Amino acid sequence: MENELLFFPYGSRGLIIKFKKPSVSQIEILSRSFFRDYVVSLFKTDLQDLLLTSDSLTIFFKKPPNKKAIKKNLLNAYDISLSKSIDFEYKHWEIPVCFENNFSSDLLKYFNDDESKTKDYIKRICELELIVQFYGFLPGFCYLIGLPKSMQLKRKAEPTLKVEKGSLAIGGGYAGIYPQSSPGGWHVIGITPIIFFHPKRDPNCFASIGDKFSFKKISIDEYEKASKQNFNKNLPSFNIFNVKD
């Protein structure tokens, strides 16, 4: 098990755990999410923060830890997380997205104003099931994997100064939804009225690492109506599945 993980110090109170390879399957993603949660329960009040990405888990402790003892505990926790895999459940969320021209102008521009290619891309993305691999960049910004190579779009040469809140965008092999307005270098292909992150909601972000997303095309009228809903009511529909399904 030890060769599955590499440990690197990060200052006096931090520890980076590098996985042997990035998580690419749903079972790997769910397993590492469980590992993160297990680490939280293991060290409890000793933790300052944790950050899980596709290929690492960074742990920040409140005070310098005993790294030798910590390493042994983490290896045991990782072993347990792998054996837990068969019991995982996840939620499949249906995200409403408006793909009207004013919200998908980046996509139209990417295809040199070819409306046929733009419409085909939108049709194809609504047929996909994408997986939440990790969160980063902004609170509630989910990195979604599962795009076929033919649908991956290179990042913009120059970032847009303001990407609107709720924008569904593509950057390389990832899709993501901006939880707030922000500069960004991904290609915006649509917009959702769903509020992905709110500090007064528990949990702040409704989706978990390992969940699946699919996109449902809606009209601009449906988008505007849904945008007026309270953040606690503005949630997408979902179904719960076992990872074996």
In this structure, are 13 and 102 located in the same domain?
no
Per DSSP bridges, beta strands 237-242 and 142-145 are unpaired
- pLDDT-based confidence at residue 96 (cuts at 50, 70, 90): very high
Of 62, 87, 112, at which residue does a domain stop? 87
Q: What is the pLDDT at residue 1? A: 46
CATH number at residue 226: 2.40.100.10
In this structure, are 129 and 210 located in the same domain?
yes
Tokens read off for 100: 């009207």
In this structure, are 165 and 233 located in the same domain?
yes
Ordered DSSP codes for 7-63: EEEETTTEEEEEESS---SHHHHHHHHHHHHHHHHHHGGGEEEEEE-SSEEEEEESS
* Alpha carbon distance 41, 37 (integer Å): 6
Q: The whole model's pTM is what?
A: 0.90
pLDDT at 97 over 70: yes
Number of domains into which the chain is organized = 2
CATH number at residue 65: 3.30.1360.40
Peptide bond before residue 203 is cis, with ω within 30 degrees of 0: yes
In this structure, are 12 and 96 located in the same domain?
no
In this structure, are 12 and 109 located in the same domain?
no
Mean pLDDT (whole number) for 147-155: 97
Read off the pLDDT of residues 165-182 as tens digits, 9 standing for 90 and up: 999 999 999 999 999 999
Of 59, 87, 115, at which residue does a domain stop? 87
Of 57, 87, 117, at which residue does a domain stop? 87
Short-list 11, 107, 1, 96, CA closest to 62: 11
Q: What is the pLDDT at residue 3? A: 57
Q: Residue 106 is part of which domain span?
A: 90-242
Average per-residue pLDDT for the chain: 91
In this structure, are 31 and 52 located in the same domain?
yes
Read off the pLDDT of residues 5-53 as tens digits, 9 standing for 90 and up: 999 999 999 999 999 889 889 988 998 999 999 999 988 889 999 999 9
Mean pLDDT (whole number) for 115-123: 96
Question: What share of the chain in percent tops pLDDT 90?
Answer: 69
Contact in structure between 167 and 160 (CB atoms under 8 Å)? no
Q: What is the pLDDT at residue 149? A: 97
In this structure, are 102 and 79 located in the same domain?
no
In this structure, are 39 and 58 located in the same domain?
yes
In this structure, are 19 and 124 located in the same domain?
no
In this structure, are 141 and 194 located in the same domain?
yes
* Alpha carbon distance 132, 236 (integer Å): 15
Residue 178 CA, distance from chain mean position: 11
In this structure, are 115 and 227 located in the same domain?
yes
Mean pLDDT (whole number) for 114-119: 95
In this structure, are 70 and 125 located in the same domain?
no
